[in-house]
Amino acid sequence: MRRPHATLLLTLIVAAGCTQASAPGAPPPAPATSAAVPADPLPSWNDGATRQAIIAFVERVSKEGGADFVPVAERIAVFDNDGTLWSEQPIYFQLQFALDRVKAMAADHPEWKAKQPFKAVLEGDMKGVMASGEPGIFAMVTATHTGMTVDEFGDVVRAWADTARHPKTQRRYTEMVFQPMLEVLAYLRANGFKTYIVSGGGVEFMRPWAEKVYGIPPEQVVGSRGKLKYEVRDGKGVLLKLPDIDLVDDKAGKPVGISQVIGRRPIAAFGNSDGDFEMLEYVTTGPGPRFGLIVHHTDAEREWAYDRESHIGRLVRGLDEAATRKWVLADMKQDWKAIYPPAP
């Protein structure tokens, strides 16, 4: 792994241990009463400026013959994942996955009992994990995310997503997706949009469950990625995950990932932190109608409240410039009737 790239990725992951966000105090929220208003495309959004802005944009670009009509082929919307489509507290869920994997793999690695940061992970000592610094976190990510094929890793992720539960909510992580955002995804798709994830998280960590959870197929997931090596094993072509970073899909890396994979400028972007700033800027400085939205985490009771001072999902520049850039700020506490989908 090359150090300059590694630093960026590790910032993404390490910061998770230092969050100052308030913990959620409330039990899982009540289900959104989506059956009450069948014609409402956004039933979990309170009526107000935010909801109206979303609907007004979609109607503008999809009105045939209108001045701001955008052909279906160009209706591309991009969504950050952590903090925008699902929660990201108290640590990025992908970091929790890495910690869980260390525990699950420990039986095959007796040497970890005496080796940091694995020792600290196995002893539940998060301070010790973080004290191992970048080299430690790098060793942990390498041990849990590389050295297997993409397909094998996908099976591991799926098994984890099916069983692991968040320590505070006791929900599966994939049940901590935001119901109002699921409705935005569905509403956009119903109006001809192609919806993409563009996340700092690992692309191979998201693809195994994104289709089931978000309705977003693997080919519409852009994320950070490691290098891959093609090999033939038992006569079958496979892709081996290597411990070298290929793209850090965060900050200025997001427009790069978009250009590489999508190949044209989306017309709508949804984020929640300054890691999404360049993506929002790239999308909303193109010609024609544009839409940018920031999910502002303001609800300490039902989710978490954090922005300027947080080490995870830090939002400073986005708050300062949203108004002048005409980006919509979605206030979680005010705008959302429900946070998560109904308990399963």
Binding residues for its own copies, rule: CB under 8 A, are 73, 76, 150, 194, 203-204, 207, 211, 217-219, 221, 225, 228-230, 232, 235-237, 239, 246, 252-253, 255-256, 259-264, 278, 281-283, 285-286
Listing DSSP states for 148-180 in one string gives: SBHHHHHHHHHHHHHH-B-TTT-SBGGG-B-HH
Residue closer to its own copies (CB basis): 37 or 252: 252
173, 162 in Cβ contact below 8 A? no
Task: Supply the angle between the helices 253-261 and 277-284 in degrees, to the nearest 10.
Answer: 50
Residue closer to its own copies (CB basis): 118 or 282: 282
- Name the token pair of 10: 């590790």
39, 344 in Cβ contact below 8 A? no
Which SS3 state, helix, strand or coil, does residue 98 take? helix
Q: How far is the CB of 49 from its own copies (least distance, A)?
A: 25
Q: How far is the CB of 191 from its own copies (least distance, A)?
A: 18
Q: How far is the CB of 126 from its own copies (least distance, A)?
A: 32
Report strand pairing: 76-79 vs 194-202: parallel
Q: How far is the CB of 237 from its own copies (least distance, A)?
A: 4
Residue closer to its own copies (CB basis): 110 or 235: 235
Residue closer to its own copies (CB basis): 29 or 271: 271
Q: How far is the CB of 302 from its own copies (least distance, A)?
A: 33
198, 249 in Cβ contact below 8 A? yes
Residue closer to its own copies (CB basis): 163 or 230: 230
Residue closer to its own copies (CB basis): 65 or 263: 263
Cis, peptide link before residue 117, omega less than 30° from 0 = yes
Residue closer to its own copies (CB basis): 180 or 257: 257
Q: How far apart are CA 216 and CA 246, in angstroms?
A: 23
Q: How far apart are the first and last CA of the chain?
A: 41
Q: How far is the CB of 97 from its own copies (least distance, A)?
A: 18
Residue closer to its own copies (CB basis): 173 or 196: 196
Q: Tokens 């544009």: give the residue.
A: 290
Q: How far is the CB of 330 from its own copies (least distance, A)?
A: 22
Q: How far is the CB of 263 from its own copies (least distance, A)?
A: 3
From the CB of residue 253, how many other CB atoms can be counted at a distance below 10 Å?
21
- Tally of helices (H runs) and strands (E runs) in the chain: 13, 7
Report strand pairing: 76-79 vs 268-271: parallel
- Name the token pair of 232: 């033939």
Q: How far apart are CA 309 and CA 11, in angstroms?
A: 16
